[in-house]
Amino acid sequence: MNSSIIRARDCMPQAWKNGFGSTRQIAVQPSTAGSDDFLWRVSVAEVDSAAPFSVFPGIDRHIVLLDGAGFTMTLDDRRTHALTTPLAPFAFPGEAKVAVRLAGGPTRDFNLMVRRALARGTVDVWREPGVHRLDRQTVLVYAVHGEIDTADGALQAGDAWRASAPAAGTVTLHDGAQALSIHIERTA
């Protein structure tokens, strides 16, 4: 197995920081970082109850609905956002208190967290089959659906490919494939 390919089956469930849910960490930078000292972190969470999200001061968060009907997020008891459209990234500050109301059953969502003082992150959605060029800020490609070819091998749904620094080259999405491309730009 190539270390740049991360198989979904190898990502074991972990408790949320607040203990109210579970997530599967896909990648973290640096690779030895914990929840208090990462530059960036990517995970997939299973949300099956109206549990509050963990609070991450100084972190910018990006969330993307992968499966299920989704949920409505209430941030700091006032602003709401319906995360009910699959593959529509939503960004919010990690220090926000987030309450959740499920729209109908369990969901899975993709999460990018970035330490605000050191970097900026984005999540791009790739829906079209064909060749997609990586840029210098690409750190990871996550296979949402279908098969994706990388320089290091094929990805299936739930797998990820971690780019070497800096990223170069291309990935190819087969018909029906969809992916999330994660970009990190260092600012400090």
Q: Is the dihedral of CA 51, 39, 162, 175 positive or negative?
A: positive
pLDDT level of residue 1 (50, 70, 90 thresholds): very low
Model pLDDT, residue 91: 98
Q: Are residues 86 and 172 in the same domain?
A: no
DSSP string, 129-183: -EEEE--TTEEEEEEEES-EEETTEEE-TT-EEEPPSSP-SEEEEPTT-EEEEEE
Model pLDDT, residue 165: 66
Task: List pLDDT tens digits, range 35-74.
Answer: 889 999 999 998 888 888 889 999 999 999 999 999 999 9
The residue with greater pLDDT, 63 or 17, is 63
Q: Are residues 102 and 171 in the same domain?
A: no
Residue where one domain finishes, among candidates 73, 101, 117: 117
CATH label of the domain that carries residue 126: 2.60.120.10
| Range(s) of the domain holding residue 136 | 120-186
Residue 156: what residue type?
Answer: Q
pTM (two decimals): 0.93
Q: Which residue has the tokens 């956002």?
A: 81
What percent of the chain has a predicted confidence (pLDDT) above 90?
A: 78
Model pLDDT, residue 47: 87
Q: Are 99 and 52 in contact (CB under 8 A)?
A: yes
Q: Are residues 145 and 71 in the same domain?
A: no
In this structure, how many other beta carbons lie within 10 angstroms of the beta carbon of residue 66? 21
